[in-house]
Structure formats: C-alpha cells, structure tokens
Chains A and B, each alone.
Chain A
Amino acid sequence: MKSVNVLLIFKKDIMYKPIIYRIARDFDIVFNVLEAKILPKLEGRLILGLKGTDQQLEKTIKYFTDEGVEVQVLADMIIRDEKICVHCGACTAVCRVDALYIDRETMEVRFDADKCVACGLCRMACPVKAMSGNAIDREI
C-alpha cells in the first residue's frame, strides 16, 4: 500500500459529472478529501489523499485523466533545497499536514513530500528561501 496526495482540477464541462465515487468502487482505492474548493459553474479543485497499490493508483490516475480531470501529484509541487535549508524549524510552525516535521533526535527538519498538500505556507515561513515550487492556493 502506498499513499499519494493529488490535486484534481475539474474544468466547467465536467465539474458536475460524478467521477470520484468510482475510484472506491472500481479501483478499491481508500481516499480522503483533504481540501476542496468549488467555484460554481467555473471550476472545482479537490485535494485527495489516495491509498492503494502501485497498480491501483496508476489505474486511478489514468481514469481521472481519461475523464478529463487534470491531475497533479502534490509531492512534486513543493521542493526543499537541502543546501539552503538551515534547519531552523520555522516551516514546521505552519505546515498543515506535518509533511515538514522535526526529527526529535537530531532536531533537524525533515520533509515528507508524499504528505504535502502544496498549500505554500512553508514558502512564506522560510526565512532563507529554501522552499520553492507552486502552491495551489495562490493559483485560484
């Protein structure tokens, strides 16, 4: 079992079509809605945490794409530059999902990209600009 967070963008032509329910029924995916923003008749955005095997996840993402849903894997959106990071911990004050957390043994900051929901708060909190990439909140 693997878990991956994805941002799904439903353009207006498909935003009222029922799509999500099938991922549990047809692909046996365990999913959790992490965030949702719906602009009526304009666009819908959903962040889902998906749990399944590699094969199930692959099929699910293909299914979304075939249905016309734009899929972005959130783990790829925010990047930490290890050479710039000073391990101060300021980002851990704001991370919503504990993707950025402190290893209590060494007090170093760790980044678990698979948990990231690309909110972009870490980019604002980092005093040395070690975090970069696109945050979803800023695009809407």
Chain B
Amino acid sequence: MNSPEIKKTYEEINSKIRKGKAVVVTADEMPAIVKSEGVKKAFEKVDVVTTGTFGVMCSSGAFINFGHTKPKIRASKVWLNDVEAYGGIAAVDCYIGATQVRDNDPLNMVHPGEFSYGGGHVIEDLIAGKPVKLRAKSYGTDCYPLRDYEKTVTITDLRNAFLYNPRNSYQNYNTAINLSKKMIYTYMGILKPDMGNITYSSAGVLSPLLNDPYYWTIGTGTKIFLGGAAGAVTWQGTQHDPSPERDENGMVIGGSGTIAVTGDMKEMSTDFIRGASITGYGCSLMVGLGIPIPILNEELAFFTGLSDSEIRANVIDYGIDYPDGNYRPVKEVTYAELKSGTVEINGRRVPSAPLSSYPKAKKIAGILKDWVEHGFTIGIPQVQIPSIPYNKK
C-alpha cells in the first residue's frame, strides 16, 4: 500500500554517490529547478534532495550507560546535574528526558517561570564536553551492594551516550495566535493578546517530511543528519498520523507525520543540539536534523519542488481553543506568507515570527548535501512508516 513506483533505484543512486557523481541539491534549490525545467527533467537530472530543520523538539532525550562502578551499583534513581534521569532500565543505564526540569526548580510558582536548566541542557553540556555531576541511588542487592554513587563525569567517561528521540521532525505544525485578552507563555513562544502576533515552527520548503509527504523513502534504517553527526530513523515517531487533512497536491496541512531517531552523542556538536528554556512552559531540546531524499520517481521531484507558497499550515488559537482541546483552525496560511513577516487574518495584518531557525536548517541541508556528494549513501528503509495511498486530486 505504501510502495512508491521506483523509476530510479536506490542502487543506481547509491552507486552514483559512491563514485562521487550524484547530482545533489538542497530542498530550497529544487523549486526553481522544477519550475524552469519541469518535473520530468528535474527527476532525470536530480538524484538526491537534502533537507534540514532546527528547532525545539520535545520528546527528545538520551540513553546513557555510565559504566559499572566498583563496587557495583544497580542504580534505581539517577541524576545528572540534579536533573533526574529515569533509572528503571538496567544497573547503569538511564534515560535523560529533554523536558525534565532540575530538582527544586520553582517551576511556574512565580508565573511565568524561567525553567533555566533541565534535561536538554544536560544533553548540551555533555556534548560540549563539560563536566556533569552524576549521582545514583540504589537499595543494594547481593550482586550490586553499592547504595550511593557520585562522580563528576564528562561524555568521554560515559560508556554510551545515544540521543534517542521518540518524536522528532513534525511533518507540519500549527501556527499559533492568541485570541484571549492576556499575554500567554506557551511552547509556541510568547503570544500577545488579541492576535498581537503569530508564531510558527517549521522550516517549510526545507523541512524533511514535507519533502516526502507520503514517507516513501523514509523508514527504519534511513540515514540522517542528527545533531551534527550521522544518525538514523528507527521507527515512526509517537503521535505519527499519516491521515491528516491534505491539500489538492496531497501535501499535508495538519500536524501529521513524525519520526523516531537516534545517533551517537559523542559525535555530535552543540552547533546543532541545544538545551532550551521556554518561559512559562518548561525545558526542552533544540535539535538539528536533516534527511536526504532520493528522487526515485517524478512524484518525489514534484513534492521536493513545491515552494513555500504551496505549503500550508493551520492557524490555531492558543489562548482559548488549544488549552480547551478544541481543534478549530482559524484559517490556513502558506509558509511564504509566514516568512514574509506579516499574515492577514480576519482582515488584520498580524506580525509573524518563526521559532525554528531557518539559517540553521539551511546550513544542515548544505552540510548533508556535501556529505552525499562525498559518499554518504542513502539508507534503504527496511520498515516503512505507516502511510496512506497517494491520490492526487
């Protein structure tokens, strides 16, 4: 149900990549190529289109194995710089979640809270090579007698540090306005009352899953750019939804697809992974991610060739509707409008602001292009991400 028609095979493309002969372009360059040469010629000419995105992505975190201690501990509670990591996995394994806030943080007691340090910052500090205080507690067993352990470590002391993000790279996302009478502090940024501004969080034309809207080329085993290193797609992401509203081209309008991804933190860079403090909301992680899309058929040339003016997103009220759980889009806007700086809603010009970094997204797509040109082959998806049949209206 989800196998695309393959007119140019993975093997053909990868063989060209190995020889350094593949034609690779970034997703923001593709619309002009398709416009001037047409879909058919663009398909024949281009082998791979690289994408990129950099923004706050909740549902991120890291699996850490800190190595066996002497005497041994079976850690049941673990903290890194006083941020609790989940220890109920194995003796010295834990999972540090990006949104976990440091112990004794005042949270939103004085609203809006600052959330100055959390799991995302621990991940950034580890990648930066900074010393991090590791603390573990146990109840003690015959084979693991130690009950308390404390040591200052850097990433090189850790046996493993794998970024493992259960939901990243949302295919498309709400844009946010505030129709209430007071300023609100949300994960979509600070929203002024009475529709004083609109925020969005997508790289639009460069965004990975918007360039392969039916996930034909993305699945378990797809090799990606993650945080500055080579990583992989492991599975569909949590909340993955292949059947949101789609437009006449088959492009998604709502939130839709997500992916779970992993990569080795020891190879990553803080240029592309950053802890985030979102005033009034909490802590999170900014993730830089890019996917190379092999142009297997003309449809993929068509989709990668869509520009910001042909990709739409819903405007959602975060003042009343969103917190109440009412999904009632106020209108649809294009990424071209959002990126212009003002959007018209109900006859008013509303200033728009991005929350994800387009310059970083562009940089990532560029680096990935360079990698592919120098031998980074396309990972053939072994398990496809759930999709729906492609029907162009």
With a cutoff of 8 Å between Cβ atoms, the chain A residues found around residue B276 in the complex are: 127-128
B151 CB to closest chain A CB (Å) equals 27
Q: Which of A7-15, A25-33, A34-42, A99-107 contacts B (4 or more CB under 8 A)?
A: A99-107
B339 at the interface (CB under 8 A from A): yes
B357, A92: Cβ atoms closer than 8 Å: no
Residues on A with beta carbons closer than 8 Å to the beta carbon of B134: none
Contacts of A87 in B (CB 8 A): 357-360
User: Given contacts A102-B341, A124-B112, is CB(A88)–CB(B197) below 8 Å?
Assistant: no
Determine which of B190, B278, B351 lies in contact with A121 in the assembled complex, contact meaning CB atoms within 8 Å.
B190
Nearest-CB distance from B177 to chain A (Å)?
11
- Return the contact of B341 from the options A90, A104, A125, A127 (Cβ within 8 A): A104
Q: A124-B190, A124-B279 are in contact. Are A86 and B197 (CB under 8 A)?
A: no
Query: Which residue of chain B lies nearest to A121 when distances are taken between CB atoms in the complex?
Result: B190
Among B192, B275, B354, B362, which residue has its beta carbon within 8 angstroms of that of A88?
Answer: B354
Which chain B residues border A128 with CB–CB below 8 Å?
274-277, 286
Which chain A positions have C-beta within 8 A of B355?
88-90, 93
- For the complex, count residues of B whose C-beta is within 8 A of A: 33
Cα A94 to Cα B55 in complex, Å, equals 18
Query: Does A129 sit within 8 A of B, measured CB to CB?
Result: yes
| Residue among B56, B112, B199 making CB contact with A93, cutoff 8 Å | B199
**A62-108 with Cβ < 8 A to chain B:** 86-90, 92-94, 102, 104, 106-108
For the complex, would chain A's binding face be called helix, strand, loop or mixed by DSSP majority?
loop
Which one of B274, B275, B354 lies within 8 Å of A102 (CB-CB)? B354
Do the beta carbons of B354 and A94 come within 8 Å of each other? Answer: no
Instruction: Kindly provide the distance from the CB of A99 to the nearest chain B CB, expressed in whole angstroms.
Output: 14
Give Cα A128–Cα B185 distance, bound, in whole angstroms: 16
Residues on B with beta carbons closer than 8 Å to the beta carbon of A92: 353-354
Cα(A89)–Cα(B354), bound, Å: 5
Closest chain B CB from A89 CB (angstroms):
4
Q: What residues of B have a CB within 8 angstroms of the CB of A121 in the complex?
A: 190
A102 to B362, CA, bound (A): 15
Task: Give Cα distance in the complex from A92 to B275, angstroms.
Answer: 20
CB contacts (< 8 Å) of B116 on chain A: these are 129
A121 to B277, CA, bound (A): 14
The CA of A81 and the CA of B320, in the complex, are separated in Å by 35
- The answer to the question of B254 belonging to the interface, with a C-beta cut-off of 8 Å to chain A, is no
A89 in contact with B353 (CB, 8 Å): yes
A interface residues, Cβ below 8 angstroms from B: 86-90, 92-94, 102, 104, 106-108, 121, 124-125, 127-129
A-B contact pairs, 28 of them (CB 8 A): A86-B360, A87-B358, A88-B55, A88-B354, A88-B355, A88-B356, A89-B356, A89-B358, A92-B354, A93-B189, A93-B191, A93-B192, A93-B355, A94-B189, A94-B192, A102-B341, A104-B340, A107-B339, A107-B354, A121-B190, A124-B112, A124-B190, A124-B279, A125-B190, A125-B279, A127-B278, A127-B284, A128-B277
5 A-B pairs closest in CB distance: A93-B353, A107-B358, A89-B354, A127-B276, A92-B353
B residues with CB within 8 A of A: 54-56, 112, 116, 185, 189-192, 197, 199, 274-279, 284, 286, 339-341, 351, 353-360, 362
Q: A86-B360, A93-B190 are in contact. List 18 more A-B contacts (CB 8 A).
A: A86-B54, A87-B357, A88-B55, A88-B355, A88-B356, A89-B353, A89-B356, A89-B357, A90-B353, A93-B189, A93-B197, A93-B353, A107-B339, A107-B362, A108-B359, A127-B274, A127-B276, A127-B278
